[in-house]
Amino acid sequence: MHLARSRPLFLLAFIACALVISAALYLEYEAGLRPCALCILQRIFVVAVGVVSLIAYLHAPGAVVWRIYSSMMLLFAIAGAVTAGRHVWLQALPAEESFSCMPGIEYLFEARAISQVISRLFAGGINCGEINWSMLGMSVPEWSLLAFSGLILIAANQLFRRDPVGLDHKKPDA
């Protein structure tokens, strides 16, 4: 039996996404941390990876559609890693170089075009540079970057494996 079968890896990615979102909601509602715009964007990418992973696990399609699911998962995970990386960079800036506060994400989506919203989100706000919580010396965006890195590895494995659905592996006759 192969250790890294395709379908269970999609289930593993979904479970990881569910755990990341659960941790984010716990930190928001129980620990009282307010998510900034970049945190919300990272959550969107985690949910997107999780939804694609769950659909891929439940659907169990042929090799071509399998690679489409893997590609979508990889793109969302890379986008999340870029967002988390930007957030980590903003937190590393000295206080005097941090950006001024920006309006809430709801206002941005109501008042601006999507391209302007994305550029404003990546500019960050004053609360994006604050480190309000850490565990083992890592802030929330650093943990998020670590999670996205793992999801990228799973998605890349799914995308680039020679036999994505296990068709080449025959069970030996018993």
Residue 168 belongs to some domain of the structure: no
Q: Are 69 and 56 in contact (CB under 8 A)?
A: yes
pLDDT digits (tens, 9 = 90+) for 25-54: 888 888 877 777 788 888 899 999 999 999
pLDDT at 21 over 90: yes
Q: Which of 68, 67, 29, 25 is nearest to 46 (CA)?
A: 25
**Residue among 75, 36, 30, 84 nearest 52 (CA):** 75
According to the model, what pLDDT value does residue 165 have?
54
Q: Which two tokens stand for residue 59?
A: 């659907």
- Under DSSP, the state recorded for 3 is S
Report pLDDT digits (tens) over 6-19. 788 888 899 999 99
Res. 105: pLDDT tops 60 = no
Q: Which residue has the higher pLDDT, 100 or 57?
A: 57
Q: Are 121 and 105 in contact (CB under 8 A)?
A: yes
Q: Is residue 33 one of the residues assigned to a domain?
A: yes
Asked whether residue 70 is domain-assigned, the answer is: yes
SS3 168: coil
Tell whether 170 is covered by a domain.
no
Residue whose C-alpha is closest to residue 6's, from 168, 149, 171 = 168
Neighbouring-strand partners of residue 138: 135
What are the pLDDT digits (tens) for 135-167? 677 777 888 888 899 999 988 988 887 765 554
- What's the structural domain count of the chain? 1
User: Contact, 83 vs 119, CB < 8 A?
Assistant: no
Question: Domain for residue 166, yes or no?
Answer: no
Percent of the chain past pLDDT 90, that is, above it, reads 22
173 within some domain: no
Residue 12's domain comprises: 6-160
Residue 169 has pLDDT above 50, yes or no: no
Residue 51 lies in a domain: yes
Averaged pLDDT for residues 70-97: 83
| CATH number reported for the structural domain that contains residue 69 in this entry | 1.20.1550.10
Dihedral (CA of 163, 166, 169, 170) sign: negative
70, 63 in Cβ contact below 8 A? Answer: no
Domain assignment present for residue 130? The answer is yes
